[in-house]
Amino acid sequence: MFNDAPLSPNAGDHSFSPPADSILRRKDFLLGTATASYQIEGAIHEDGRLPSIWDTFSATPGKVLNGDTGEFACDHYHRWQADVELLSSLNVDGYRLSIAWPRVMDENGKPNRKGIDFYKTLLDGLKAKGLKTFVTLYHWDLPQYLEDRGGWLNRDTAYRFADYAELMSRELAGKVDAWMTLNEPWCSAFLGYASGHHAPGRTNIRYAPQAMHHLLLGHGLAVPILRKNDPGSQVGIVANVGRGTANTDSAADQRAAHLFEVQHNAWVLDPLLKKQIPQDLFELWPGAEPLVLEGDLETIGAPLDFLGLNYYFRTNVKSDGAHGFVEAPPAGVERTQMGWEVYPLGLQELLIGFHKTYPNLPPIYITENGMASDDQVVDGEVIDNQRLSFLNRHLAAVDTAAKAGVDIRGYFIWSLMDNFEWAFGYERRFGIVHVDYQTQKRTLKRSAQLVAKFLADRRAQS
């Protein structure tokens, strides 16, 4: 993205000590970390795991930076016990992980016992450490055999997702505190089927709304299954949201910012919370309306126990002179290793805005928030000051939104450890734990050390 503006690694507060009246000081406010299966597990050929669309995509020349793949990643599949100990040492309240769909069932829907047993044992290990378990069913690693049949463009994939949810909620009942059906359907639909930046790498804007509809239909079909099979757990979904701001006060630029948020936020949230697809979307993409069958939106709009929101940056836009927007990145602002602007106010504004827009807004968890930096181990330490400042400012934004009336129950730092960052491979480091990919050595960064100390102190005071 836009790397012309300077980083500000020394900006802000490098401690981790939220104010006395902060929501973070409440013992019922969950502070955790998060990962995803393809980004950390490795072992893509072991114990009956089938190929995923990310195996195919990352093995395609030119699709991932430096030709990196998830073949080994953080080797979590073999090192999970040490990683659970690592998590426990951080004193976090909860851990968000995802299940690799290709690891747990075959092409005919038959369970793969070795894959399922991996997750059973992992979840038992997490529960033994007192961690709350938040489990995402789909964090982008669609089985390749389903993509070969059309992937999310094929309505049948929604029903196969429901079968997958049925199997996992039966097998893991009682081990999961909260189920999340999908992670970031916007990325799956738009980056996967319109821009081609993510697997499966298709590039037709007309595909994206149909893929989105089937993703959300799969979610809606899974919700009652999860409730039936695992009644003691909560059920939700995770959406990535972005703040769109206008380049000027002109009506055209203001409309452009509105349309940005329609395609980034309302495209997902309106079907879930209003049982409707925002028609402004088709100002941007005329003629791309999906095929929606009777009853679909009722299914998609099933009540949620919580909504997970992932936030990373804002996008400043201007009118394209027609019926859309183009990005207009501001100069001289703080950016991360990804080139993303650091803009905590956007998270605060979105949370408060959603609270006003959706009267039925369920309780919120911030299920991802974090930043990439070019972290190096120097004399056995990783001093990630920019990340500490980033976390402090975004948690202050969450606190402000909570005090404005938004029901926010927890916050997950992305990520527990450096990992395979999708199309950017292993170059971009989001973890609060550094990973040496050659030796697989884990090193707690300064951010991890200070979060662990804060949580130990909070626990001692409760």
Structure tokens at 257: 């910012």
**Nearest residue to 367 (alpha-carbon basis) of 147, 96, 85:** 96
Q: At CA 39, angle to CA 35 and CA 44, rounded to 5?
A: 130
Q: Which of 171, 261, 334, 368 is catalytic?
A: 368
Centroid of chain to Cα 28: 22
325 Rama class: left (phi>0) / alpha (psi -120 to 50) / beta: beta
- Tell me how far apart the alpha carbons of residues 181 and 236 are, in angstroms, rounded to a whole number: 7
**422 annotated as ligand-binding:** yes
Q: Is 139 annotated as a binding residue?
A: yes
Q: Describe the crossing of helices 76-89 and 113-128 by its angle, rounded to 10 degrees.
A: 10
> Is residue 180 a contact partner of residue 134, using CB atoms and an 8 Å limit?
yes
Strand, coil or helix: what is 205? coil
340 labeled binding residue: no
Contacts of 8 (CB under 8 A, 6+ apart): 334, 342, 386
- Rounded to 5 degrees, φ, ψ at 245 are -120, 155
Would the annotation count 421 as a binding residue?
A: yes
411 with 366: CB under 8 angstroms?
A: yes
185 touches 236 (CB < 8 A): no
Strand partners, 435: 442
**List 41, 184, 334, 341, catalytic entry:** 184
DSSP state of 175: S
Q: For residue 405, what are its two tokens?
A: 């009336």
- CB-CB contact of 78 with 44 (8 Å): no
Burial class (CB in 10 A: 0-12, 13-18, 19+), 162: buried
Is 39 annotated to bind ligand? yes
| Residue 184 annotated among the catalytic residues of the structure | yes
Is 294 one of the catalytic residues? no
Q: CB–CB of 180/237 below 8 Å? A: yes
Cβ(260)–Cβ(245) under 8 Å? no
In three-state secondary structure terms, 338 is: coil
Catalytic residues: 184, 368
Q: Which residues are annotated as a binding site for substrate?
A: 39, 139, 183, 312, 414, 421-422
Q: Which residues are annotated as a binding site?
A: 39, 139, 183, 312, 414, 421-422
